[in-house]
Structure 1
Amino acid sequence: MALKDQSFNGLAHKFNRNIYGTTKGQLRHTLLCEVLSESLSGLPPQRIIELGGGTGVMSAFLAAQGHHLTLTDISEEILALAREQLDSAIDIRQADLFSVNELGDFDVVVCHAVLEWLAHPFDALAHLGTQMAPGAKLSLTFFNRDAALFSNAIYGNFDYIARGMKVKNQVRLNPQQPLSPKVVIDRLEQLGFSIKSMRGIRCFHDYLRDKDMAASHYEELLALERQYCTQEPYLWLGKYFHLWLEKN
């Protein structure tokens, strides 16, 4: 069966609980907020568009920092939740990534955890490369195929790995297209992006043998993630991989 771009219509409330109501969601959001705060530090208010931003948790954070936000998502159901929760100053638009053709009007493009839900993620990167203006910044996060393989090997899912980590019946909240960071980096450089920083997101959390420790030792875990997320070899094992880039 051919892959299709994933929408979360029909799953909006479950998506919201699973992503932000868990330690893995909280940790990912906290670490990404920190890297964006660091990357945007000292700059005047930026015009920022978030692609595939879901309920707008990151848009809300950035707007609270004084930036001007536009939030897009393919799911109108998800955006209905966003409209209930977000300040009216945030411009909310229902659109898929490929239909957003005014990226050149923005200083920063945020595209977090979107590529792995697309049928053609590298076409999406090409769209960003074509549309973004020189000097604009891109905050990109995606589900790490190398980390997914490593964690499945740890849990003994050898048959799954042998099948290329493909399942017969795709679960809608499981990313369908994890990507290898080095492959993505190579493609982005070909598209005219310069890498300013990179880091792993959840380098340790998802490998805990005692899953209860993610909650009982959350602060210690967060400190460990902060300490090692930019250091090799740990950054390559982050369940998500983050890149801060500039369009040449």
Structure 2
Amino acid sequence: MTDNSTQPHNTPSPAPQNLEDRSFDAIADHFEKKVYGGLKGAIRLAVLRRDLSAQVSQLSARLGRPLRILDVGAGLAQLSIEFATAGHEVTINDISHNMLAKAKAAAAESKSAASAIEKEEGIEKVNSTDVDTNEPVKATNAALTNITWLECPYQLLDEQLDGKYDLILCHALLEWLAEPQAIMDFFDRWLAEHGVLSLCFYNPVSFDYRNLIMGNFNLLNNKDYQADNKKSLTPNNPVPKEAVNNWLTTHDYQLLSASGLRVFHDYSPLKRGGHAFPEAVIEMELRYSNQDPYKWLGRYLHYMATRA
């Protein structure tokens, strides 16, 4: 969710108890344009889609059925809509009514042929539920089939969920939570024994590196600065990968894969050569996204993990 690279990064520390989880309800249009209105969003989706498609295909084949998928803090939920189009049973959650409304509109407009994930055969379809009334509605196309929409903070999902999930998506949410570590207990409760956790989070190292390249030393030296969260998409409390690694180990998760999202694109102030061709940029981002040491410089990191 972070594309404003000119704000300073402070060393993350435990969030005060009076902080609230961030909602993008008031800036949903700005979020959609800023995060997914250009090449940055296309790169993010390309890497996540590549990582997830392989895991979903393997897990679904092993279980012999479509998956139960939960997307926590889903935002625009592009990938979850694709999974629903492919026939999986998907629950999409966000704290923001406006973000879910945008996601639902996108699902209603999408078509099965547009899904980037290969559609599975012989999957029984069920109805969706309306984001405003939470009442069942008849699905109008394949994208709406098998989707349940839940508008609430993730902490209230325990009251509405039923049964465990084969795949839990949590993308660009950790850095906006007042108490990010607490969500690990939520994962423990709702991830099936064989399940996979897809955890994508902002990488604070990328902030430092970007501003070193740009010469923004004054921002790096200003340890007291806090971004204006009324419109800013820069998190003030990002979680370093070392902390996430420790959480996963403590909760007995085994890391299956790690990728970086936007490992070079944001660091190039002079766009020349191949940078003039978006398809070439995406191709190279995909190539280096899962290679050492480049992946650890990604603006976001994508972990896929399962219970050890």
Superposition TM-score, scaled by structure 1 size = 0.91
2:45 is aligned with 1:29: yes
Give the distance between the partners of 2:268 and 2:224, measured in 1 at CA: 21
- Within the candidate set 167, 178, 186, 1:108 is matched to 167
Give 1:240 deviation, angstroms.
0.4
Give 1:146 deviation, angstroms.
1.1
Q: Which has the higher contact order (CA 8 A, sep 6+)?
A: 2
Letter in 2 for 1:231: Q
Please give the residue correspondences for 1:66-215 in structure 2 after superposition, counting only pairs within 5 Å: 66-86=87-107, 87-89=143-145, 90-101=147-158, 102=161, 105-164=164-223, 166-167=225-226, 169-170=228-229, 171-211=231-271
Contact 1:23 1:214 in 2 (8 A): no
Where do 5+ consecutive residues of structure 2 fail to align?
A: 1-15, 108-142
**Segment of structure 1 superposing worse, 164-173 or 138-147:** 164-173
1:154-176 Cα shifts (integer Å, max 9, x gaps): 11222322234842634432223
Q: Which residue of 1 aligns with 2:74?
A: 53
Q: Which residue of 2 aligns with 1:234?
A: 294
1:56-102 Cα shifts (integer Å, max 9, x gaps): 21211222232111100000111122222213321111021222224
Contact 1:103 1:109 in 2 (8 A): no
Give 1:116 deviation, angstroms.
1.1
1:98-120 Cα shifts (integer Å, max 9, x gaps): 22224852111000111111111
Give 1:132 deviation, angstroms.
2.6
Letter in 2 for 1:157: N
Contact 2:227 2:236 in 1 (8 A): no
Contact 1:229 1:235 in 2 (8 A): yes
Give the distance between the partners of 2:283 and 2:104, measured in 1 at CA: 33
Give 1:133 deviation, angstroms.
3.1
**Segment of structure 1 superposing worse, 179-188 or 24-33:** 179-188
Give the distance between the partners of 2:56 and 2:28, measured in 1 at CA: 30
Q: Taking structure 1 as reference, are residues 168 and 203 closer, same or farther at Cα in structure 2, changes over 3 Å only?
A: closer
Give the distance between the partners of 1:215 and 1:233, measured in 2 at CA: 21
Give 1:134 deviation, angstroms.
2.1
Size of the aligned set, in residue pairs, is 248
Q: Secondary structure at the match of 1:71?
A: strand
Q: Secondary structure at the match of 1:206?
A: helix
Contact 1:103 1:133 in 2 (8 A): no
Q: Secondary structure at the match of 1:10?
A: helix
Where do 5+ consecutive residues of structure 1 fail to align?
A: none
Q: Which residue of 2 aligns with 1:39?
A: 55
Seq. identity, %: 31
Give the distance between the partners of 1:160 and 1:91, measured in 2 at CA: 43
Contact 2:47 2:289 in 1 (8 A): no
Superposition TM-score, scaled by structure 2 size = 0.74
Give the distance between the partners of 2:26 and 2:187, measured in 1 at CA: 28
Q: Which has the larger radius of gyration?
A: 2
Q: Secondary structure at the match of 1:167?
A: coil
Contact 1:109 1:139 in 2 (8 A): yes
Give the distance between the partners of 2:216 and 2:178, measured in 1 at CA: 24
Q: Secondary structure at the match of 1:210?
A: coil
